Structure 1
Amino acid sequence: MQFLTYKLAQEIVERTMEILDSNINVMNEEGIIIGSGDSQRINQLHDGALLVLKKGESVEIDQSMAAKMKGTRSGINLPIRFNNEIVGVVGITGEPEQIKNYAQLVKMAAELVLEQSFLLERVQWRQRLQSEIVNQIISDEDLNTEWVKDRARFLGINLEQPRFALVIKPSDYTDLTNQKLIRSIQYEMNKNDLIGVTFNNEIVVLKASSVSESIKELTPSLHRLLKVSGSKIIIGTGGLAESVKEVKLSFQQAKSAVFVGSKIQPNNPFYHYEDFRLEVMLAKVGQEEPDKNIFSFYQRLLDEGKKGELVDTLQAFIEENGELNKIAERLYIHRNTLRYRLDRIEELTGKDPRNIKDIIVLFTAKLLHDIR
């Protein structure tokens, strides 16, 4: 496996030359210069590197030796080791006696950059595989259950465990924002959780749980996500999926909760499907209704008065469950004024808020208006 690439070799060169006033060369396992402070030396064969690869140890080269070797100047060449194998050579140009004190530091820096790059690649590979698994589970295509279970097992994740689907959205999306947010979320994830990014750039967490656990019990964890995210985010949660095949429904519920909840309660950070089940159902029915003018009567409330008293009254009536004293107190009005407003709503819409069937229709009309 090739560990040293041209890009990585040049990164080693640039990092070490920032702190050392000498030219640095990096050679691959064939002794070819693939990174250098002197761009003209790229792709040249370095005999000093071949000697290091053959001996498996550092080699000091003075001017007399360099004169007899191809592509080599005086300096010190050291093996770059990774996983106890020599994967390349780093060379420092200069008189060996003058640069000897820095040689081991340069070697350590090269190996550190290589290790960091390898670890980052593994993290990114794991993240890509998780995203692939998540997208397979929540997609509209037929789910190959055994395929996703096999890949999850490869990551040490048990897909047999029940899960809640979480949809996480930053307030201002950019690729950089998403990447930072994903890293923050990963710190709050358990080993059996899955995180992925959909084709629509939604961050999805499939949170491992137990059959007896309620989504409300995850609230402390959600609060930690808000805290570590460092930016304003909203989180939607679906119902508990007891099998892999049910996860797709939990994901759709989480999306619906975010869509509807953020429209009617825009200042909330969390939207649990269980809390918005009725609103989601009514919104879906209303949007599928072929008669687009079926709730046109609601526009009359919007047109009535510039201050929107009737709409506010209807909202308070819904949220206070029709308790007149609480509604009047909340709106800072007399009960007689409240009765007048309720009568006025009935006059304009033909729907009496005090009638259970009519208030459902008014509620649905208001909901559809808000989410549009």
Structure 2
Amino acid sequence: MLFLTHELAQEIVERTMKILNRNINVMNSEGIIIGSGDQTRINQLHAGALLVLKNEESIELDQVKASEMKGSRPGINLPIYFNNQPVGVIGITGEPHEIQNYAQLVKMAAELVLEQSVLLDRVQWKERLQSEIVNQLISGIQMNENGIRERLEFLGVNLSKSRVAVVLKQSTRIDFSNHKIIRALRYELSQEDLIGVTINDGIIILKNVINEIDFRSWLSLFKKWINKYDNTLVIGIGFVVDDLLNVKSSFQYAKRAIEIGQKLQPEKCFYHYEEYQLEISLSQLTSSKEMFYFYHRLIEHDKNGELIKTLEIYIEESGELNKVAERLFIHRNTLRYRLERILTITGKDPKNMKDVMELYIAKLLNDLT
């Protein structure tokens, strides 16, 4: 594995030169200078670095010794270690007696930058692997179950645990490419949870569900976190499946919950499938003027929308006239008149259970198209 790249070496140089106002060189495992405060030295062979790598110990070069070694100048050169193996050399230019008090500090800073870089690479690699698995699971394409199982085992994830799909989308288009939100979300998730970014930059969480109480508790905390972290997100939640290979359906219903929820209640940001089961089922029907002609007749006659608004509140309040009149700021007699108007126009009596159900279904289908 290539630990020291030109880019990382230059980053080490820039960081360490802030600690010590001296020129810094970073050499790779072949003694080639790949990072330096003096750009003219890039890609030159540093003979002193070869000696450091060979003996795995620091060397100090004064003016005399440096003149005897190709590409070297007075200074101190120290091995850079990763996992107890020398992977390069860091050199500080200057007279050794002037800089020796800072040498170990610079070496430690370089090794810390290297460790952070490798750790970040591993984190990013795991993120990419998770996204690949998540996209494969929700795509519905033919899956290599053994291949997925092996990759999940590497991540420490059990394929057979119950899960629910949680979909996060931006209410306004914002670029997710930097994955900052993914890393922030990691603190809210367990090792058994999978998270990935879809092609259209949506975020998918395949949340492990231990039991209903545990999931409700997590969901409550998650809502608070989302509202605090980013109020431009909308979230759809599917239903629990007992096997990760079946999570595609949960994902599709989480998406539908967002689509339908935003049409019916655009002021909300959380849309749970279980709150929209009827609406999702009805949305799969064909909405036509012929099927619900009576509702379209109501629309045609209700130019100012007061009858439809009355019907909406009437349904929400389960037909309790006092509450309906109170919410509409009208007298009960005015409410009765409007209900009679709805009956006259549609032929459907809002006081009749079957008729009000037909009115409600017709209204829903109209709102969803």
TM-score (norm 1): 0.91
Tell me if structure 2 keeps the 8 A contact 1:76–1:93. Answer: yes
CA distance in 2, matches of 1:217, 1:106: 47
Aligned to 1:107: 107
AA of the residue aligned to 1:204: I
* Corresponding residue to 1:318 among 291, 308, 315: 315
Aligned to 2:23: 23
Aligned to 2:332: 335
AA of the residue aligned to 1:367: L
CA distance in 1, matches of 2:346, 2:16: 76
AA of the residue aligned to 1:10: Q
SS in structure 1 at match of 2:122: helix
Unaligned 5+ runs, structure 1: none
CA distance in 2, matches of 1:366, 1:175: 36
Once the two structures are TM-superposed, the CA of residue 276 in structure 1 deviates from its matched residue by 0.4
Aligned to 1:197: 197
AA of the residue aligned to 1:28: N
Determine whether 1:37 maps to 2:37.
yes
Q: Percent identity?
A: 55
User: 1:159-308, aligned counterparts within 5 Å?
Assistant: 159-176=159-176, 179-210=179-210, 216-227=216-227, 229-286=229-286, 289=287, 291=288, 297-298=295-296, 301=299, 304-306=302-304, 308=305
SS in structure 2 at match of 1:87: strand
CA distance in 2, matches of 1:111, 1:79: 10
SS in structure 1 at match of 2:140: coil
Tell me if structure 2 keeps the 8 A contact 1:298–1:362. Answer: no
Once the two structures are TM-superposed, the CA of residue 300 in structure 1 deviates from its matched residue by 5.2
AA of the residue aligned to 1:221: L
AA of the residue aligned to 1:341: R
AA of the residue aligned to 1:244: L
Unaligned 5+ runs, structure 2: none
Q: Deviations over 1:312-359 (max 9, x none)?
A: 212212211222222112212111111222233344445443344443
SS in structure 1 at match of 2:77: strand
**146-155 vs 77-86, which moves further:** 146-155
Aligned Cα RMSD in Å? 2.3
CA distance in 2, matches of 1:215, 1:235: 15
Change (3 A) 1:146 1:352: farther
TM-score (norm 2): 0.92
AA of the residue aligned to 1:9: A
Q: Deviations over 1:181-228 (max 9, x none)?
A: 212211010121111111121111111113655854543232243255
The count of residues paired between Structure 1 and Structure 2 equals 368
CA distance in 2, matches of 1:166, 1:83: 38
Q: Deviations over 1:27-65 (max 9, x none)?
A: 100000111111121111011111110110111111111
CA distance in 2, matches of 1:180, 1:160: 29
Once the two structures are TM-superposed, the CA of residue 148 in structure 1 deviates from its matched residue by 1.4
Aligned to 2:342: 345
AA of the residue aligned to 2:356: I
CA distance in 2, matches of 1:301, 1:139: 40
* Corresponding residue to 1:354 among 351, 354, 368: 351
Change (3 A) 1:209 1:367: same
CA distance in 1, matches of 2:300, 2:92: 77
